[in-house]
Structure 1
Amino acid sequence: MAPPRGRSSAKKDDGADFRTVTPAPLMLFKGSEDYVASRALDRVKASLRQQHAQLEYTRFNVADAASGELATLASPSLFGEPRLILAEDLAGMNDTFLADALAFLKEPVDEDVTVIFRHTGGNRGKKLLDALSKRAVVVDCSPVKSDADKLDFVRQEFRAASRSIHPEAARALVAAAGGTLSDLGGACQQLMRDVSGDISAEHVDRYFGGRVEASAFKVADAAFEGRGEAATRLYRHALATGVSPVAVTAALARKGRQIAALVDYRGPQAQIASALGVPPWQLKQAADTARRWTPARAADAVEAVAQADAEVKGVSRTPEYAVEKAIVKISAKI
């Protein structure tokens, strides 16, 4: 049976992009990233409702499925209403649903029906997944964890919207709002909605500069670059906006480890990036700073951070001042 106009009939080898995917009779959302799956589902629903205002949408609990329930939901309707069926959490499906789904895939799907199978991981139902991978449009919903992948996500978000973001702005956005993909995606949408033209680092700072992660890392960057006055000012502002001294010492410690590892390093950058667990762009930034340090001064800075960390975790009665002392000491080493 040929699919209706605007509906995909075969899966892409590398998986469909959630930003551009179109409805298909059979779809598999594969991976644990809820934000991506939610975006893909919203797009499919919106596309179907453009064609059929009376779309009937059903969320199907496959853990409690009764025999024949899937076939009943997907069978032709008396009044011909188009249907979208979401079979959630295949990892928790019962044996009844597994048997029914395998049988369902052997038959043609009604042209007015779209069935989405959602699998978040695990080995349950491998035979069903293999069958779906051959017949369904597969949307990759794999989690995005590394900073490099988050950067690519940001670039793709802007490219898909025919918008542009400067490289330094993309990096700043990941640092400021990259805790979860939902936060990062929301930040991208907000910038595109509120700012006309290209997105610069200044735009990111204006909208998201007060985020905990961004504020702490800005303090660390300024301190290790020798900008003592700016580092102190940023630190006091961070405290005023709710950033804890512990978050700042964590950022200082991370930067200190990078500087100490790079200050006398002459090997391949890929090797040290892997050892430090940082993306290439962050390594390059740290390497540029490390050129201005000596091993002895780097060791002193790491010691100052360790002392401040101990004080903020209980040794000192004035943890805020303990961190500020460390900041002043570190920035004075340059």
Structure 2
Amino acid sequence: MAVRSAGRAGGPKGGAVSFRTAEPAPVVLLRGAEDYLASRALDRIKAALREKHSELEYTRMDVSEAVVGELSTLASPSLFGEPRLILAEDVAKTSDAFLSDALTFLEQPVDEDVTLVLRHTGGNRGKKLLDALSRRAVVVDCAAVKSDTDKLEFLRQEFKGAGRTIHPDAARALVAAAGGTLSDLGAAAQQLMRDVPGDVTAEHVDKYFGGRVEASAFKVADAAFEGRGEAAMRLYRHALATGVAPVAVTAALARKGRQVGALVDHRGRPDQLASALGAAPWQLQQSAETARRWTPRAAARAVEAIARADAEAKGAGRTPEYSVERALAAIAADAGR
């Protein structure tokens, strides 16, 4: 059975095991909505089985269409006795036939040549089966990873597991640049580990991923709110030249504006606002430094300028590129006043 470890985003919840340590077992439940984690766990299980059994027979079941007796047929010994790996996909949409067959399967003695992996993404369908699996199966935590904090922990564990190091500021930059989905973030981490010898720094992340839409737009917003007008304009024009749409920049400006507006008159710790603003604590720490340059009145003007530019960029104006430039100039001019 897999080794248990603690933590989120690559560390399991409760009695579950991590996708990084998932190993073959008679019955395995991949529980949670994060497809990337489930595919990584399945790949580990499949590789371990094939290392021992080159003749492994692998079958994917659509349990929503399964008929009575299909599972028992697939799990029965074949003519040549090859070991079998059966993946029951999307148990949240199971047919009544599969539900009944799976409950019967769990009550019977386990054939050591059969590995049954079930994938459940959420919901209450098949609750009786899930309860039975929680007692019988190895449960692999595949819970959705959405917050930047969880994504940062995921990155830390990815690099740690490979015996590598990514600097904290590099991890934050990578989440900003490639953290749209966990699959993208995982692929970016693997590329950096493959292409960069030694520690991964923020400079490496900028070199490989600085041109991403999210990263470019956030750089523009940061420069504008820090009062670096020329830099903001230069970065914006470069972003446009590399395919970034004006609405992506207004979205980044709006996010920065909300953070600065909330922090400019805030008397508590910045991280107290994190959940309300949908931001990671480290992002608010950065914005708190910027907010010191702003007054409540100037922040309100910035938000108004962003709202006007956003509306014009989405069709209310004839020159969206110029509308955003005008907002950038106004924001940068107000910083520090």
Pick the TM interval, shorter chain: over 0.9
Q: 2:229 maps to which residue? A: 228
Give the Cα–Cα distance (whole angstroms) in 2 for the partners of residues 78 and 242 of structure 1. 57
SS in 2 for 1:115: strand
Q: 1:246 maps to which residue? A: 247
Q: Which runs of 5+ in 2 are unaligned?
A: 6-11
Q: Displaced runs of 4+ in structure 1, greater than 6 A?
A: 9-12
Give the Cα–Cα distance (whole angstroms) in 1 for the partners of residues 304 and 72 of structure 2. 67
Q: 1:8 to 1:332 in 2, by over 3 A?
A: closer
TM-score with structure 1 setting the length: 0.94
CA contact (8 A) 1:255 1:286 kept: yes
What are the within-5 Å matches in structure 2 for residues 1-334 of structure 1?
A: 13-334=14-335
CA contact (8 A) 1:209 1:215 kept: yes
Give the Cα–Cα distance (whole angstroms) in 1 for the partners of residues 332 and 273 of structure 2. 24
Once the two structures are overlaid, the 10-residue window that deviates more, 129-138 or 261-270, is 261-270
Instruction: Give the drift of 1:314.
Output: 2.9
SS in 1 for 2:21: coil
The one-letter amino acid paired with 2:74 is L
SS in 2 for 1:63: coil
Instruction: Give the drift of 1:257.
Output: 1.4
Q: 1:88 to 1:213 in 2, by over 3 A?
A: same
Q: Deviations over 1:291-328 (max 9, x none)?
A: 12112222222222222223223343221112112112
Q: 1:9 to 1:52 in 2, by over 3 A?
A: farther
Q: 1:10 to 1:194 in 2, by over 3 A?
A: closer
The one-letter amino acid paired with 2:174 is L
Q: Deviations over 1:54-97 (max 9, x none)?
A: 11101112222222221221123342211101111111211121
Pairwise CA RMSD? 1.8
Give the Cα–Cα distance (whole angstroms) in 2 for the partners of residues 319 and 101 of structure 1. 57
CA contact (8 A) 1:9 1:137 kept: no
CA contact (8 A) 1:257 1:302 kept: yes
Q: Which runs of 5+ in 1 are unaligned?
A: 1-6
Instruction: Give the drift of 1:8.
Output: 5.5
Q: 2:9 maps to which residue? A: none
Instruction: Give the drift of 1:206.
Output: 0.8
Give the Cα–Cα distance (whole angstroms) in 1 for the partners of residues 297 and 210 of structure 2. 33
Identical aligned residues as a percent: 72
